[in-house]
Amino acid sequence: MKPIKQSVSLPMFRKREPDQKALIHLVRELGFDGIELWGRKPDFEAIAGAAREAGLEICAMVATSTPLNDPALHEKAQQEIDLAIRLAADHGVANLICFSGPRREGAGDPEGVEAIATAFRRVAPLAEERGVTLLLELLNSKVDHPGYQADHTPFGVAVCQRVASPRVRLLYDIYHMQIMEGDLIRTLTENLPYIGHFHTAGNPGRHEPDASQEINYRAIAAALHTLDYDGYVGHEFSPCGDFRTALREAKAIFDREL
């Protein structure tokens, strides 16, 4: 059974190690396969170069924060996503993250699904051509992102089904979906064809995925191994203790060593 690829979301750990190049090399020393970014920063070229030097893939970054559920913003979103797709393809970035946006007054979930699907259909051909996957991130609307529309797995799956592109999938954030719906293993098992990436964090508090919180990450890791999941699991938590130890232990969970 092949190991699960794992990545580290750099912005979550920049306060602990401000030197980004040192942080990238630490991620490599700990045995991770990739890094994630929250957007294209002015120093993107330097980050990409440091990642290549360390033998790491930039496996995910934010393509746009423009809400996809607002048809009035689709032209703007398309311009931003098209630019991000080309940049990602040039630098070997596998996945680009997009967001639904908040619920719009007078537009329910069916309208939201259709609006987001329409936005993705505008950019899916270029994503398919350039080999980049677009991810709709599922976030909780209960604690961290009040009003966010793509806050349940069925909503995201409905979007993917309407777009019907192999390059439009979901970012299943385990922390967020524990808050919103629980039943994590059954849900991810039944919907794995629509999931292109995972994020980890403990609940409550979004801290390290250890025994101090309610999510059983060992069971989730075992399920993903059994399912032969071939995407990335990205660690996007805020550690309470030593961040090096937290990352080492999080990796060991998905390596089935803990």
**Model confidence pLDDT, tens digit, residues 167-213:** 999 999 999 999 999 999 999 999 999 999 999 999 999 999 998 89
Confidence (pTM):
0.95
Q: Where are the domains of the chain?
A: 5-254
pLDDT average, residue stretch 127-156: 98
* CATH code, 5-254: 3.20.20.150
Phi-psi region of 60 (alpha: psi -120 to 50; beta: other; left: phi over 0): beta
Peptide bond into 204 cis (omega under 30): yes
- Tell me the average pLDDT of the chain: 95
Dist. CA 50–CA 68, nearest whole Å: 32
**Residue written as token pair 């294209």:** 40
Q: Is the pLDDT of residue 20 over 70?
A: yes
| pLDDT, position 59 | 96
**What digits encode the pLDDT tens for the residues 94-104?**
999 999 999 99
Count of CB atoms situated within 10 Å of the CB of 252: 15
Which of the four pLDDT bands, split at 50, 70 and 90, describes residue 150?
Answer: very high
pLDDT range class, residue 1, cuts 50, 70, 90: low
3-state helix, strand, coil in the chain (%, to 5): 45, 15, 35
For residues 243 and 8, the answer to whether their CB atoms sit within 8 Å is no
d(CA 101, CA 150): 8
The predicted pLDDT at position 121 comes to: 98
Q: Which residue has the tokens 């396969």?
A: 33
Is the predicted pLDDT of residue 245 greater than 90, yes or no? yes
